[in-house]
Structure 1
Amino acid sequence: MSRHSWWLALPIAAITLFSGTVSAQSGATASDDATSDTSASMQQVLDRFRADSQAAEQRDNQRLEALLDDRQALQQAVSDAEQRLQQAQVRREELEARRSDQQQQLADLRQQRKQDAGDIGDVSGIVKQQASELRDALAESWLTVGGDAALPPRLDDRGLVDLQTFERVRRDLAGLIVESGRGVRFQAPVAGQDGDVSQREVVRLGDTVAFSDGNLLQRMGDDGRLAVFAATPGDARQALRAFQQGEGNQIVIDPTDGDVLEALSQQPTLWQRFQQGGYVGYVIVALGLVGLLVALVQYAYLLRVSAKMRRQTQNPETLHDDNPLGRVLGRFAALGRDHAPEALEARLDEAMLAEQPRLERGQPIVKLIAAVAPLLGLLGTVTGMIVTFQSITVFGTGDPQLMAGGISQALVTTVLGLITAVPLLFVNTALNSRSRRLIGLLEGRASAVLAEHLEAETAAVAHAEERRHGAHA
Structure 2
Amino acid sequence: MITRLTILLLLLITGFSSTAAPISVSQELVNRITESQKSLQALESKINEETLKYQVQLNKELAAVKALREQATTIQRTADEQLMSIEQLSDRINKWREQDNYQKLLLQTYLEQQNIAFEHTGTSDVTVNPEIFRRLRNELIDDLAPSWQQTDVISTNGEIKPFNVLNIGPIQLAYNSQLQSGGLLENPVNQTLPNLVKGVSQNAQAVQLLQLNQTGIGSVTFDPTLGNATKLQNNQQGIVSHIKKGGVWALPILFFGLLAFIAALLKSIQLMRLPRISKDFIEQLNAKKTSFGVQIPFDGAEKKLVQIALDTPVSEQRDDQIVSYLMQHQHKVENYLGVVATTAAIAPLLGLLGTVSGMINTFMMMNTFGTGDAATVSGGISEALVTTELGLIVAIPSLIISALLSRKAKSYNAKLEANAIQISKFAMH
Q: Which has the larger Rg?
A: 1
TM-score, structure 2 normalization? 0.48
TM, length-normalised to structure 1:
0.44
The higher-RCO structure (CA 8 Å, 6+ apart) is: 2
